[in-house]
Amino acid sequence: MPQHTFKLNGRPVTVEAEDDVRLLWVLRDLLGVTGPKYGCGIGVCQACTCHINGKAFNPCSVPVSKIKPTDEITTIEGLPATVGKDLHPMQEAWLAHDVSQCGYCQPGQIMAAVAKVRQARAAGHEIGAADLDELRNICRCGTYSRIREAIKAGAKNM
């Protein structure tokens, strides 16, 4: 069986998996990283959102064979380490704004929010309404107004 090596949450990992296995299943089933959730399997709901080299992506639609040994995958479990704290500022904002209801989509929501804040800053501005409108993560509980407020608050502390 083929071996695949990459960095996961700051540590090198090697797994044996067929080349066509989606990265989400490698993370969840082979590596025991359950923060990224399975929702649709085609990158639409974005419950599985993680970061690859600092940018948001959906591992449900990426075969593990597309991940290079130099790629850094960050999941919600590894996000706090990116700032050297117990919780990332975006996670703290989520708690402060009481965003979660069922909580299923929240890891993906937070990962997308952090990437969007970074993207806005790389473009030379703070996150605004137009940036928030670009986020497409689905929340079946409908906590979108709290999500938007938490993103703005979290961005201030990032």
Terminal Cα-to-Cα distance of the chain (whole angstroms): 41
Average pLDDT of span 120-146: 96
Average pLDDT of span 89-102: 96
| Percent of the chain scoring above 70 in pLDDT | 100
Q: What is the pTM of this model?
A: 0.95
